[in-house]
Amino acid sequence: MTLSEKLTITEVAPRDGFQNTSTFIPTNDKIRIIERLLQAGIDSIQIGSFVNPKAIPQMRDTADVVASILPRFRAKNLSVLVPNERGARFAVESGIPEITFVISVTESHNRANVRRSVDDAFAELATIVSSDSYPFDHIKLDLATVFGCPFDGITPFELVRARVARAHEIGIRDICLCDTIGTATPRQTRAYISALRSEFPDIAYRVHFHDTRGVGIANTLAAINSGITRVETSVCGIGGCPFAPGAAGNTSTEDLVFLLSAMEIDTGISLEEIIAAAKFVATVVPGPNTSGHLIHVDDDKMFPRGLYKIVK
Ligand code: COA
Ligand code: ZN
């Protein structure tokens, strides 16, 4: 990527982070956090999910979150995650213009996560894509377990390729490659992305890494060097799939913004404000899945003249 190009960060803490907390975060706190993130310059954000509240009780107030945020921040790219047609119907009713549908590459994780086969999940997505009942502006697909699966181990590229081919066939042109459990390496990241980009060049790819082994940022840079310009991260590094045992939080938004600003890659996000937002999130959101580093750094002690002035 050239330095003049803008890198788009999609913030996923209000979905990936809030879905996985030990206790329910009050709706007003969720709304206050989302407001702060948007004010810090985030212009793409997943603000919740329409899922079975028995499966993920932490997301049961997504309709209220959308009702509060959407009228005030329509100009931003707001989306929600849905696992089935029923979720898509709730999304239509909420007025949200964009959805992310989730399907795992591996059969075992898909069954654990959304209680159906991969084929059935794709059939449901095909209906949503083709039916006038779902008049979304945009539908994106999150492919989970692209790099590794908690049940099956390292995911073979051929299986990823087959899922992307199926998505392409039903008209999907925006796919996020998700490292659901944080096993990807920079080498695997480069290999999978370059093979997918050359075989399906009309699909726009994004990446989403969990930081279980501390290589989330390294994987993100490998993806950027492979031509990716859209990355999903989570403020404070909160996140995790309740159906992926042992996974840590996501690569943290503020850590990535710090690194990219040092590399003079523009994200449109204020480093000072996103760190302040992350420190606020740390006071509101109960642990334990946090991968962020900068929230633990006391810049006043280490850099009394101001870290952000000398970082470049
Ligand atoms: N939103 C709200 N409720 C939903 C729903 C949705 N999208 N989909 C189904 N339900 C409700 C049904 O109405 C039904 O309710 P009832 O028990 O009161 O009658 C109940 O859930 C079971 O419906 P069913 O179609 O049999 O679903 P299921 O039990 O097979 O579960 C999912 C399938 C996909 C709904 C469920 O596994 C789920 O929500 N998973 C969440 C996945 C997730 O968010 N993972 C983390 C992010 S990747
Ligand atoms: Zn995730």
Q: Which residue has the higher pLDDT, 25 or 289?
A: 25
State mean pLDDT over 148-173: 98
Q: For residue range 275-290, what is the model confidence (pLDDT) as tens digits?
A: 999 999 999 998 767 8
Cis peptide before 57 (omega within 30 of 0): no
Catalytic pick among 149, 176, 178, 241: 241
What mean pLDDT value characterizes the chain?
93
- C-alpha 185/C-alpha 214 separation (Å) is 10
Residue nearest to atom 21 of ligand 1 (CA): 52
Name the pLDDT band for 4 (thresholds 50, 70, 90): low
How many Cβ atoms are within 10 Å of 139's Cβ, its own excluded?
21
Max Cα separation, the chain?
A: 58
Evaluate whether 270 touches 40 at the Cβ level (below 8 Å). Answer: yes
Token representation of residue 90:
């709730």
Evaluate whether 249 touches 234 at the Cβ level (below 8 Å). Answer: yes
- C-alpha 302/C-alpha 282 separation (Å) is 21
User: Would you state the pLDDT for residue 287?
Assistant: 74
Token representation of residue 26:
């009050």
Range 8-310 has CATH code 2.30.30.240: no
- C-alpha 61/C-alpha 82 separation (Å) is 14
**Ligand 2 geometric centre to CA of 9 (Å):** 14
Instruction: Write the CB contacts of 85 (distance below 8 Å, at least 6 apart in sequence).
Output: 124, 127, 128
Evaluate whether 22 touches 29 at the Cβ level (below 8 Å). Answer: no
End-to-end CA distance of the chain, in Å? 19
State mean pLDDT over 153-157: 97
Evaluate whether 208 touches 179 at the Cβ level (below 8 Å). Answer: yes
Q: For residue range 171-205, what is the model confidence (pLDDT) as tens digits?
A: 999 999 999 999 999 999 999 999 999 999 999 99
**Ligand 1 geometric centre to CA of 54 (Å):** 7
Residue nearest to atom 16 of ligand 1 (CA): 52
- C-alpha 126/C-alpha 119 separation (Å) is 10
Residue nearest to atom 30 of ligand 1 (CA): 115
Instruction: Write the CB contacts of 283 (distance below 8 Å, at least 6 apart in sequence).
Output: none
**Is 307 a residue whose pLDDT tops 70?**
no
Beta bridge partners of 148: 154
Evaluate whether 208 touches 177 at the Cβ level (below 8 Å). Answer: yes
Q: For 83-97, 104-118, 250-264, which range has the lowest pLDDT when averaged over its residues?
A: 250-264
Write out residues with Cβ below 6 Å of ligand 1. 19, 49-52, 55-56, 83-84, 86-87, 90, 102, 113-115, 144, 241, 243
User: Would you state the pLDDT for residue 246?
Assistant: 82
State mean pLDDT over 55-68: 97
Cα–Cα distances in angstroms (integers) from residue 244 to residues 55, 109, 224, 249, 292, in the given order: 13, 8, 26, 11, 20
241 labelled catalytic: yes
Name the pLDDT band for 310 (thresholds 50, 70, 90): very low
**Is 312 a residue whose pLDDT tops 60?**
no
pTM for the full model?
Answer: 0.96
User: Would you state the pLDDT for residue 268?
Assistant: 96
**Is 245 a residue whose pLDDT tops 90?**
no
**Ligand 2 geometric centre to CA of 306 (Å):** 33
- C-alpha 73/C-alpha 115 separation (Å) is 34
- C-alpha 12/C-alpha 133 separation (Å) is 26
**Ligand 1 geometric centre to CA of 55 (Å):** 7
User: Would you state the pLDDT for residue 56?
Assistant: 96
State mean pLDDT over 211-223: 97
Token representation of residue 230:
């859209």
Evaluate whether 118 touches 104 at the Cβ level (below 8 Å). Answer: yes
